[in-house]
Amino acid sequence: MRKEGYSETTIERYVRLLRRLSSYADLSDPESVKVALTCTGWADGTKEMACGAYAIYAKQYGLVFVPPKYRRVEKLPFIPLDSEVEQLVAAMPLRISTFLSLLKDTAARPLEAWNLKWTDIDFVSSTVTITPLKHSRPRRLKLSARTLSQLGQLQRTRVSIFGDGTLRTYQHFLRNFEVTRKRAAKRLGNPRLNCISFRTLRHFKATMEYHRTKDILHVMQMLGHRSIKNTLIYTHLVNFQGDEFTCKVASTIDDAKTLLESGFDYVTEMDGAKLFRKRK
């Protein structure tokens, strides 16, 4: 798979699926694998991916495998409230909280953020340069004052910001996040927090950005997509059920700057004060 250009993430996922599949079937017998797939209880999307993994395995060992037809059911991604994202960020230790804040600012893929180096952060221009994954486009995106402050509090003991760049360390980082998230959801009495993953913040940022700008090309550029077909899903996610906003008043330029960096939108000016709002 490496020779054919598969990413390390895909290779690891396929290996994990084959190991699970081997507990249900004899991998040297393609028919046994087909029968096992009907008994696993996996979703059709997982079965489809397992067929892809086994097809490569079968080719490697000269086995004849005609994969059954499975089609994944397309689902709209879960989009949390901004207040829920903020609750989760506040509940995490500094390193994970910083990672979440960066994902919220940039809509980067989790592994794109995980691979970031300190040289990718420009504290002067408040930007981060994202090196793409999945054949997408590189981009340079703005960071909020909060994220920059959090980054400034992290120790610079290595070239990478969050880890050593390996998938093994990333999996450990992910497990720590999931454990802390579960505790936070229980403590705050909000089980919806358990639905927020690293990737959820990519969907969250893209949805909110399209809702704010109604500019699908801008969202496409922010996400690094090469095809607008992958971006169009976010046009279906902006029909929010409520119109509840948090409103703030800025009396100075610094107040206005802080609100804008926190995601508030300027509305109007009254009696010399500027009014801002952000959807709850």
Q: What is the pLDDT of residues 53-72, one digit of tens each?
A: 999 999 999 999 998 888 77
- Higher confidence at residue 176 or residue 256? 176
- In this prediction, residues 99-114 reach a mean pLDDT of 95
This prediction's pTM: 0.73
* Mean pLDDT, the chain, whole residue set: 88
**pLDDT value of position 139:** 94
pLDDT band with cut points at 50, 70 and 90 for residue 127: very high
**pLDDT value of position 244:** 63
**Closest by CA position to 233, among listed 126, 53, 107, 75:** 75
pLDDT at 157 over 90: no
Return d(Cα 130, Cα 105) in angstroms, integer: 12
**pLDDT value of position 279:** 66
Q: Identify the weakest region by mean pLDDT among 85-89, 149-153, 213-217.
A: 213-217
Return d(Cα 158, Cα 117) in angstroms, integer: 9
**pLDDT value of position 2:** 82
Residue-wise pLDDT for 178-219, tens only, equals 999 999 999 999 999 999 999 999 999 999 898 888 888 999
Query: Domains in the chain, ordered, with CATH?
Result: 8-60 (no CATH), 82-236 (1.10.443.10), 245-279 (no CATH)
Residue 266's DSSP bridge partners are: 276
**Main-chain phi, psi angles of 270, to 5 degrees:** -140, 135
- Higher confidence at residue 109 or residue 211? 109
Q: How far apart are the first and last CA of the chain?
A: 45
Q: Identify the weakest region by mean pLDDT among 35-49, 182-196, 266-280.
A: 266-280
pLDDT at 153 over 90: yes
pLDDT band with cut points at 50, 70 and 90 for residue 264: confident
pLDDT at 239 over 70: no
- In this prediction, residues 211-237 reach a mean pLDDT of 86
Residue 63's DSSP bridge partners are: none
pLDDT band with cut points at 50, 70 and 90 for residue 168: confident
pLDDT at 278 over 80: no
- In this prediction, residues 89-112 reach a mean pLDDT of 96
**Widest CA span of the chain, in angstroms?**
78
Q: How many helices (H) and strands (E) does the chain have?
A: 11, 6
**pLDDT value of position 74:** 72
Q: Percentage of the chain with pLDDT > 70?
A: 95
**pLDDT value of position 267:** 83
